[in-house]
Amino acid sequence: MESILQTVDLTIGYGKPNRNHHLNKRRPTHSVASGLNLHLRAGEMVCLLGPNGAGKSTLMRTLAGLQPPLEGTVEIAGRDIRALTPSQLARLLAIVLTERIDVGNLCAYDLIALGRHPYTDWTGRFRIGDHAVVERALRAVQAWPLRWRPVNELSDGERQKVMIARALAQEPAILLLDEPTAFLDLPRRVEIMAMLHELTRATGCAILLSTHDLDLALRSADRLWLLEAGGVIHTGAPEELVLNGAFAAVFRGEGVEFDAEQGVFRLRRPHRGVAIVLGEGLHAFWTVRALQRLGFETQNRDAQERNGALEVRIVNLDGVSMWVTSNGRREQVHSSLTDLIESLVQVSSKEAP
């Protein structure tokens, strides 16, 4: 598919744009990333990931035309965004920002109606079609029942839906969202991401969102833009970036490592030895997770090295699960996973000097 947004040798950062060379001496430019050649296709959802301070927000602001590029261009629908009038740009691109806006006592409907700004005349008067667009936006984010509620009284999740609906009311071809799930609990995050994904499919609108939610981004994005701290950007399908190691490299940090087998980040804990889990199903899965959290290297039942390993057997007696641990010297029975974890934690604190 044709790309709706692309950047050509884009350099982002702060300071005056290079056109005003005479000003550069007083305010030196600080480039965050340079030589970016990115593109965004209609109908795809791209997640922008990167460690804090890598320049995600700067890139978003530059793409949105809120901040001039230091060098290079941002093109939307084949035209340099600096050549577009503000109103033309607003019909092509809408944003949802991280900062929580105090909108006074506007109700959700009025807030979303503000999104019709580029389409209405100087009085801001609505025509029939405008009402229909606002209604469609409300329904697209499943916020129809909220329409007359004051925005200040909405929960964070409801509020974010309304802010997204406001952007949709601009009927944009591109939607940029800066950390749209930052203040939400996990179920709301999943809901918002699923909703955004659906929007791209239903409307053909391209969505670029920055997030810290790596797991969710891996699972829902069509493509990822991985912005490294030095300003290098890796793009590709999420799975591709995991396979070629880019994902692990960008987020490598103190005490954290990316487990490419499970697709999750894991705290690097002091190694406490090997544990072998004997059991099946969900119980086994979460027992493994618990042991890994406590710093055990887990192996399955076929493990060759059993010497010195902690063996955890999950026994099911008449529907009641029990955990039997054995370290070769003595066996212990735990009636719950919590019990097991607590006894292992106690052992470790005794072992500690």
Q: Do residues 194 and 184 touch, judged by C-beta distance below 8 A?
A: no
Position among 97, 154, 310, 340 found at the interface with another protein (CB under 8 A): 97
Query: Measured from the CB atom, is 79 or 219 closer to another protein?
Result: 79
- Is 79 one of the binding residues for another protein (CB under 8 A)? yes
What are residue 263's phi and psi, to 5 degrees? 70, 30
Structure tokens at 347: 């052992």
CB 268 to another protein: min, Å:
39
Which of 92, 165, 192, 224 is the binder for another protein (CB under 8 A)?
Answer: 92
Q: Which of 40, 54, 64, 214 binds another protein (CB under 8 A)?
A: 64
* Helix H or strand E segment including 17: none
Rounded to the nearest 5 degrees, what angle is found at the Cα of 52, between the Cα atoms of 89 and 102? 55
CB 16 → another protein: shortest distance, Å?
A: 14
- Rounded Cα gap, residues 13 and 58, in angstroms: 7
By CB under 8 A, is residue 90 in contact with another protein? yes
The candidate with the shortest Cα–Cα distance to 322, out of 311, 313, 330, 309, is 313
Measured torsion, CA atoms of residues 341, 343, 346, 351, in degrees rounded to the nearest 10: -100
Site string for another protein, 44-63 (x = CB under 8 A): -----------------x--
Q: How far is the CB of 204 from another protein (least distance, A)?
A: 5
Q: Find the shortest distance in angstroms from Cβ 178 to another protein.
A: 10
Candidates 105-113, 227-235, 284-292, 296-304 — which segment interacts with another protein by CB under 8 A? 105-113
Which two structure tokens, joined as six digits, stand for 53?
């301070």
Q: Does 26 bind another protein (CB under 8 A)?
A: no
- Using CB under 8 A, which residues numbered 256 to 285 contact another protein? none
What's the closest the beta carbon of residue 140 comes to another protein, in angstroms? 5
Asked whether 46 and 224 are in contact (CB, 8 A), the reply is yes
Whole-Å CA distances, 321 to 5, 161, 177, 310, 325: 55, 42, 45, 19, 13
Cα gap 270→336, rounded to integer Å: 24
Q: Of 72, 2, 7, 1, whose CA–CA distance to 227 is shortest?
A: 7
Per-position x/- string for 110-149, each x denoting binding to another protein as judged by CB under 8 A, each - no binding = x---xx-xx-x-xxx---x--xxxxxx--xx-------x-
Contact residues: another protein, CB under 8 A: 2, 4, 42, 61, 64-66, 77-79, 85-95, 97, 99, 101-106, 109-110, 114-115, 117-118, 120, 122-124, 128, 131-136, 139-140, 148, 152, 170-173, 198, 201-205
